[in-house]
Structure 1
């Protein structure tokens, strides 16, 4: 068969099998479609189906097909990260800076510390968790940050599912996650800092600041249709510049969105755009992610590492939010609800881990353990958050901001 025909067979597998399993099994309450697609990528990858049927794997996922799939995956995930940056609302966060700062800080630092401890434990047991180009501090900080990540785009989908996205409670949760999102990309830039390219990176920062200043003055003057097209040009330029200077094109994609204002784009169109990218392009990214999974240190070891990281991630997030609730005097049940939602990993953590793997900072086995942890944490979110939300919303003060609610008590 020609490469085109095999490529289309790969697309047929990517889009049909995970969706059919998800629909026939009726597991949408526990497993969102995006998680099912990630699981599908792992199963279809070299570690499971590929190991059982190597002829199938070598026929469908030949190098030229994988290269084409990776190109689609790169662009799709760049758009998704750009949307995450665009949806940051720093002005709203500034208006509630004390509450947001305390909550975001604790929600980030506690799982980060526990994740770093878990990484140290793994490295002490086996050096196979480190990538060939990774220093100990990069591996520890990278795995720790992966445990602290909140998947902002997936969180938006979950808040929509729970019907609180546009409610005060949903906006509070997004506010907390948004500040952590900035920290994630800042830490990633630190991990990827390349002293051999420090001059290029300094040039990138200076050029980006100047270009962002110009873009912020030009874009509002354009018709909305032109803003969309211009934003994609800006996205590609930032991605290229960030990758050229030794950071990563995902850092550039996030910055490209973060300097734009969401109000410059119609909200409904942006929501539809995100949904369409998630539907039409992101399954290719999930499959390409699954193709990177490895089990060379042993399946039991990988699952054990994933369990350790899951405990650090979920336990750290819940503990951090419990501390925030005590400091800010939240209602009973608020901290637990917000904690279960903010511990959602899925997409952003997988992107983060992909970058660490691409830069050979972590090993494929570490990546596989992080991927399994992300799947498990995301599957826990809705089943554990939904009943707590019902109890909380029965309280008439649930819709108010914390400070307002405290004044009413």
Structure 2
């Protein structure tokens, strides 16, 4: 077979396997299709399929096919992160800045601290820290991975729970939006390359100047043109960030963060996010799965994943409960908000991919973080749904 035919076999596998598991297995309650696709990516990777059927794995996922899949995955994840940046609503966060600042700060700080403790424990053994990392970069990177909230997946889960447009849903989005800014800011700090700090400074200065011109242009043109201009802006910002040594996904997020959601029809933006998830992101999940590694032994990776999961969930709940006490929330409110904010999935996987690309973490650490992200996301709906049933009045309480 030629490369095109093998590529199409790989694409058929990527879309068929998770869909059948999701549809026939009825997993939607605890594992939405997007989570099943992430798990399928892991199972189709070298650690599972590659070990069980090495010849078949090498035939389908050969170097030429993987290179083609990676190109699709890069553009898919750039689009996804760009949309996440656009959907940040910092105006409402500013209107409620005291409440948002306290909640977001504690929701981020507590799991970050616990995650850093776990990372320090991992440093005691070889094989977790990447070859180009300093100890503080590894510790802060792993710690922040435990603190991440996946805003796009949070939106999907709250839609499923029918609270997205309710007051509590909008409050949770405010907290997650503030945390998103902090997360990408910390990532930029971790990625600062003092050997290329001049290039990075030049990119940030150019970005600031061009943003002013870009925003004026976007306000002046009709909406149908804004989509095309926005995509050109995305490609340019991603290129500039990667050229400077930050990473193309940092550029993609910045490209979206300086855009206003009200420049676009909300229904069309929702459709674009859903279409990117449907058509392109499964390739990213497979590409992510191909990067998993169990070389240190499955037991060590699972132990690390368990410790990271405990730090992530416990830290998020502790931080939000403390915020609830300070702000005098109703009983049960902090538990619902904390469980929803601990959703990891895509953004943490993207975050970990960047750390792996920059060799701050190893493939083994990446695998542990990936398992933690999947487990935390699968816990969310089964835990939150019964709580919401018991506290229906809470959904409609004004912010």
- For residues 275-306 of structure 1, give each alpha carbon's deviation from its aligned partner in whole angstroms, at most 9, with x where no partner exists: 00000000000000000000111100000000
Report the Cα distance in structure 2 between the residues aligned to 1:163 and 1:214, rounded to whole angstroms: 39
Deviation at 1:134, TM superposition (A): 1.2
Q: Deviation string for 1:58-90 (max 9, x for gaps)?
A: 100111110110000010110100011101111
RMSD, aligned α-carbons: 0.7
Residue matched to 2:121: 121
Structure 1 residue 394: Cα displacement: 3.3
Partner of 1:407: none
Please tell me whether residue 400 in structure 1 is matched to residue 397 in structure 2. Answer: yes
Matches of 2:40 and 2:122 in 1, distance apart? 27
Q: Deviations over 1:44-67 (max 9, x none)?
A: 100001111000111001111101
Q: Does structure 1 residue 33 correspond to structure 2 residue 30?
A: no
Measured after TM superposition, the shift of residue 221 of structure 1 is: 1.3
Matched, 1:353 2:380: no
Kindly report which structure 2 residues correspond to 1:69-84, keeping only aligned pairs within 5 A, or say none: 69-84=69-84
What residue is the counterpart of 2:199 in the other structure? 200
CA distance in 2 between counterparts of 1:122 and 1:155 reads 29
* C-alpha distance in structure 1 between counterparts of 2:146 and 2:267, whole Å: 32
| 1:240-389 mapped onto 2 (5 Å cutoff) | 240-389=239-388
1:54 aligns with 2:54: yes
Query: Map of 1:141-156 to 2, 5 A cutoff?
Result: 141-156=140-155
**Aligned residue-pair number:** 399
Distance 1:401 1:195 in 2: 47
| Deviation of the 1:401 alpha carbon | 3.3
What's the offset of the Cα at 1:7? 0.4
Render the CA deviation track for 1:307-326: whole Å, top value 9, x for unaligned: 00000000000000100000
2:102 aligned with 1:105: no
1:9 aligns with 2:9: yes
CA distance in 2, matches of 1:390, 1:183: 32
Post-superposition offset of 1:23: 1.0
Q: Cα distance, 1:21 vs. partner?
A: 1.1
Alpha-carbon distance in structure 2 between the residues aligned to 1:25 and 1:154 = 21
Output one character per residue of 1:330-372: Cα deviation in whole Å (capped at 9) or x when no partner.
0001100001100000000000000000111100000000000
User: For each residue in 1:120-156, what CA deviation from the matched residue of structure 2 results, as whole angstroms up to 9, or x when unmatched?
Assistant: 11111x1210111111111100000000000000000
Per-residue deviation, 1:399: 2.1
Provide the rounded CA distance (Å) in 1 between the counterparts of 2:165 and 2:217: 29
3-state DSSP of counterpart to 1:306: helix
Shift of 1:91: 1.0
User: What are the superposed Cα offsets for residues 94-115 of structure 1, whole Å, 9 maximum, x if unpaired?
Assistant: 1000000000000000000000
- Give the structure-2-normalised TM-score: 0.99
CA distance in 1, matches of 2:382, 2:220: 45
- Report the Cα distance in structure 1 between the residues aligned to 2:331 and 2:370, rounded to whole angstroms: 32
- Give the C-alpha shift of residue 164 in structure 1: 1.2
Are 2:174 and 1:175 aligned? Answer: yes
CA distance in 2, matches of 1:180, 1:240: 25
Distance in 2, matches of 1:30 and 1:383, equals 6
1:45 is paired with a residue whose SS is coil
What is the aligned partner in structure 1 of residue 209 from structure 2? 210
Q: How far apart, CA to CA, are the structure 2 residues paired with 1:21 and 1:56?
A: 21
